[in-house]
Structure 1
């Protein structure tokens, strides 16, 4: 997952080399999200049939191809292709890897396995910009070395996956797989709507941090150090991982609405940073908003996984991440479209207001559902 956010601190360098607008940055970023969504919709549950290992190995190959394309990128088309391949890899990883970790866990360790799965997802996304920020700022060849390092990590991951046992019984050959959208069994639908709403709101904030925050740090705050940019983005994902640690104490049902509340606080801090052009509120927004997103995500994954039959778990989790990645793509493109007429800061303020309204509505809906369930 680190490869999917690796280019975040590097967009400024690509802008200098190729020349494109902030809208183009958001479109390039959104290509990744649409790649994820396409894979999840078409083959999101394929690992339930062909096994987890073949799907993960295909994802690693796509990720390696993405790194190679970025090494050769000298125009916007190649940047989009690299992001698309990265999105395909993330789409293959997301549901299959989460289900795989849950199935590999010893009996009675499902709760910890859920944390490991979501923490690996968020931790990898956070380590990508931190790695590329450090290498591009303090090492030679800033547009080469980060992707070479990523290829080395992928080679090690490929070897590890080859050694893992398959957990799906009665698997079919990968070549026999057919496109099939993720299925939601009837018993999952009751928890899926609130889980999906929380995932959408949380991922929208992370999408903003990984797409346009480097430009805001440079233009609005005068921060041009790519390692610092990577650290700010890493902070959001680290806070997400830490927020997930709170879920076992809260319970998944309470974690989701509380995560929405914390997310609103993070959005308010983000609005303050944009309005006052101040760095401290931005860092606090990364910490608070990331924690709220992590609480909501782990709660959502836990609720959906617990409600899913084993034979449909990969598909149900893939469907959840489809909704989450719509949260990454659609609001971010909206910010890119508004940047031209309004400016980056004002476009961000519109985004923060819209997402705060959505998160508030989500939290209220979840609390109402919880009270209705308690009354029943």
Structure 2
């Protein structure tokens, strides 16, 4: 009998492993962000190309979620995670060898396919082990991963050699270790028939969650649209406000993610409705501060707005999951979670591409940042109206 057959990780260790995998995947997705400026200087492309490279990832995640989002409900969580890790490692190898924009697009495409396949499986596996702690981990891991990936990349670029390669090599080593953990992890769901049929993309929600999902969709779209903007154009915006190092620019995603994670921890025992409302209010305040700071060319003010936006992201995302996932049966978790992430990544990618075109063709980066902030505020107000209306209907 193999070692993997004799040794099985206990549930708590498995939960930590799964959360770390989600962190690693999100860190890998954020790692190129501080590098875009270097890539742009070497290969002479515009902000439109930057946002397109950024958005290819979101589109690939969407395609993967729609295709593979329900697969782990049928074949098990472990096989899907093992393949997703292998594909993610392949994408990082492409990054290491990249010598132009086509290679960047290819790497982001492969990376998105891996992330989409892993997201539903790892999120559902954490809920299988412990619903309460799994929901918390699903909420906090994206922020930790995004922030740590961007900051790690910036630090390695600034202080160590091989700036366009080293961060990817580090992530490959981490993923290889996690792959061993997956081999030792017990399966958390009983496989069932219908795997091939599950690969047909379809949007299907259990009747019990259709109403709540409609309430949280504007919230998810708004908070992930904000994350997409700061991920794609935030570092460039900071550099336009002041001549600063790449480490300070890398702090953009880190600060955003840090305050999002703190919000998740602080609000973890709070009612879902209160968490969502807190997130929406913080999002609106953050965008108001961001608009004023960009107009005043204030970097400290920009980071205050960034921190408030992070609280909005953490509260909005966590509150949405807390609203939906307790209503879902075990065999529906991966598919419902994948569908929620579809909404997230549409918000993450589409507005960012539009912003890239506006930067080049309609007024430049500061004006686009102002317009984007106003659009996010309007989305947040729509979300606030929907939550308040659903609350009144429930109480009536």
Q: TM-score, normalised by structure 1?
A: 0.95
Question: In structure 2, what is the Cα distance between the partners aligned to 1:18 and 1:77?
Answer: 11
Equivalent residue, structure 2, for 1:203: 224
1:98 pairs with 112, 120, 123, which one?
123
1:261-310 per-residue CA deviation (whole Å, 9 max, x = no partner) reads 11111111221222122111221122111111111111111222111121
Instruction: Normalising by structure 2, report the TM-score.
Output: 0.90
- Match status 1:268 vs 2:288: yes
CA RMSD of aligned residues (A): 1.6
- Show structure 2 runs of 5+ residues with no match: 1-25
Give me the whole-angstrom Cα distance separating, in 2, the residues matched to 1:142 and 1:22: 21
1:122-161 residue CA offsets vs partner (Å, 9 max, x unmatched): 2111111111100011001101111111111111111111
8 Å Cα contact 1:203/1:327 also seen in 2: yes
Cα deviation, residue 112, structure 1: 2.5
The alignment status of 1:332 with 2:352, answered yes or no, reads yes
Aligned length: 370
Contact 1:95 1:318 survives alignment (8 Å): yes
CA distance in 2, matches of 1:351, 1:20: 22
Tell me which residue corresponds to 1:232: 252
- Report if aligned partners of 2:47, 2:359 keep a CA contact under 8 Å in 1: yes
CA contact (8 A) 1:182 1:316 kept: no
Q: Residues 194-239 of structure 1: CA distance to partner in whole angstroms, max 9, x if unpaired? A: 222111100111111110112112223222x222222221110111
Please tell me whether the aligned partners of residues 8 and 129 of structure 1 are also in contact (alpha carbons under 8 angstroms).
yes
Indicate whether 1:24 and 2:45 are aligned. no
Name the residue aligned to 2:170.
149
| Residue of structure 1 equivalent to 2:200 | 179
Q: In the aligned structure 1, how far is the partner of 2:184 from the partner of 2:379?
A: 43
Within the candidate set 136, 140, 159, 1:115 is matched to 136
CA distance in 2, matches of 1:175, 1:165: 23
Q: Do residues 310 (structure 1) and 330 (structure 2) align? A: yes
CA distance in 2, matches of 1:213, 1:220: 11
Deviation (angstroms), 1:42:
1.8
User: Which of the numbers 212, 229, 254 marks the counterpart of 2:274?
Assistant: 254
CA separation in 2, counterparts of 1:234 and 1:355? 20
Conserved? CA contact 2:136–2:268, under 8 Å? no
In structure 2, the residue matched to 1:347 is: 368
Aligned to 1:48: 73
C-alpha distance in structure 2 between counterparts of 1:182 and 1:156, whole Å: 35
Q: Which residue of 2 aligns with 1:300?
A: 320
Q: Is the aligned partner of 1:34 residue 2:55?
A: no
Change (3 A) 1:204 1:19: same
* Contact 1:252 1:300 (8 Å CA) reproduced: yes
Q: For structure 1, which runs of at least 5 residues remain unmatched after alignment?
A: none
* Residue range with higher mean Cα deviation, 362-371 or 111-120: 111-120
CA drift of 1:372 comes to: 1.5
